[in-house]
Structures are given as structure tokens and as C-alpha cells.
A = this chain, B = another copy of it.
Amino acid sequence: MDIAVLGTGIVGRTLAARFAELGHTVTIGTRDPKDTLARTGEGEFGDWAARNRAVGVATFADAAAAARLVVNASNGAASLDVLELAGAHQLAGKVLMDVANPLDFSHGMPPTLFVKDTDSLGEQIQRAYPAAHVVKTLNTVNASLMAHPEQLPEPGTVFVAGNDAGAKAAVAGLLAELGHRDVIDLGDITAARGTEMMLPVWLRLWGALGGPAFNFKIVR
């Protein structure tokens, strides 16, 4: 499948490399590809791209235009701007897999949420792009576990929330390819409120457990 991953951070890179490894045609979208690729040095995108030549690099709009499925892997605070650069026309009719979190670091640590409880980032994106099929997923694990859930000693649970059943099925298929064995459909996109509001306890668990190598498993 042609997949666009919007965002060049650790989440975008990790998902893009993994999707490419799984045989998909993957393009990472960024604001200015030339500028992004020019950033070299340890941990910089240019170095990563040189080691991951199977992943294309293009503008947000070009990446989205070529894709059947678009992943929003941008920083939550930047997501609406990034999607505007991708363009409504390029997102229309497509599955928009949203893995971002509405974290607000402007008041120091721990971050708070800039939208919550009566609305969510997933809903903001769906409202801004009504012709896209937004599916909120994977925002409750870190990048490494998104791509390689088998690192944990037993399968955890991941969630999908979205208004379109076909889009959720497509995302569930991708999640299965990534190795996720327990996927719970929480309902429409308003359920993104629930999974985004798991971030505060996720951040506390990170502190209590000394790292991000954990997941929520729904025992039932």
C-alpha cells in the first residue's frame, strides 16, 4: 500500500521504516524536504534518511497526494498546521491514521493536554477534514512499541476510534502487520477523548517504571 507518514520525528521515522520493511511504499512528508535532508549529524534526519533509502521524502502535500493511507505522526501541537500543508484535497477520501497526542509543554513538565474531555485532537482533525476518514490509534504506546509490540513479554492492547468502519478495518489490518494482537474498537472518533486522556497516567507510569517500555493490556 502507498503510505504517507507526516512527521520526521522519532514516531514518523520509526513507523515509516517499519512500514517499508513490511513491503509498503512509504514516503515521509516534511515541510521542506531539501532543508530536512540537509540536517546531518547524529540523530538528525539526513543521517536517518541515508540509512533508510527505501523511504521516500517529499513535501507534506506530495507525500499525501501519492498515498492511499496517511499517517499523522506530527507533534500534536503542530498537527493541524501540518495537515493544512498536506491539503484537504490530498486527504479527501483517504484513511488518516492519527497517532498524535495533544500535549502542551508550554507550562513545563509534566505536559498538560491542550484539548480534552469534551473534545479531542482526533475530533479536531476530523472536523477540519470531513472528507478524510480519521482513525485514532497507537497514541497510547511509544514509537518503539508502535512498530515492534513483540518487545513486551506479552501482548498489550491498542485501540481504534473513528467514524468509518472501512477505515478502521484498514487500520486494524496495518496494526496486525505491525504485530498488534489485541485491538479494541472503541467506537466513533469521540472515543479519541478517552485514549488521549490516557497520556497523563502514561507519563506517570514512565516515571514510576523508569522507562516507556510498557503497554496497557485490557484484561477481560
| Residue among B116, B184, B207 making CB contact with A117, cutoff 8 Å | B116
A16 within 8 A of B: no
Q: Verify B204–A187 contact, CB threshold 8 A.
A: yes
User: From DSSP, what is the main secondary structure of chain A's interface residues?
Assistant: mixed
CA distance A191 to B186 in the complex (A): 25
Interface size class of A (residues with CB under 8 A): 35 or more
- Nearest residue in B to A120 (C-beta to C-beta)? B200
CA distance A161 to B68 in the complex (A): 45
B-side contacts of A204, CB under 8 Å:
161, 186-187, 191, 194
Q: Verify B220–A219 contact, CB threshold 8 A.
A: no
CA distance A216 to B204 in the complex (A): 15
Stretch at the interface among A24-32, A82-90, A93-101, A149-157: A149-157
**Distance in Å: Cβ of A202 to nearest Cβ of chain B:** 8
A92 within 8 A of B: no
CA distance A204 to B219 in the complex (A): 15
Of A200, A201, A217, A220, which is in contact with the most chain B CB atoms at under 10 Å from its CB? A201
Chain A, range 189-214, C-beta contacts under 8 Å to B: 191, 193-195, 197-198, 200-205, 207-209, 213-214
CA distance A214 to B216 in the complex (A): 12
Task: List residues of A whose CB falls within 8 A of some B CB.
Answer: 112-113, 116-118, 152-156, 159, 161, 184-187, 191, 193-195, 197-198, 200-205, 207-209, 213-220
* Given A197-B201, A216-B216; 9 other pairs, CB 8 A cutoff: A153-B220, A155-B219, A159-B201, A187-B208, A197-B198, A198-B198, A214-B218, A216-B217, A216-B219
* Across the A-B interface, the 8 shortest Cβ-Cβ residue pairs: A194-B201, A214-B220, A194-B200, A197-B197, A217-B217, A186-B204, A194-B204, A156-B219
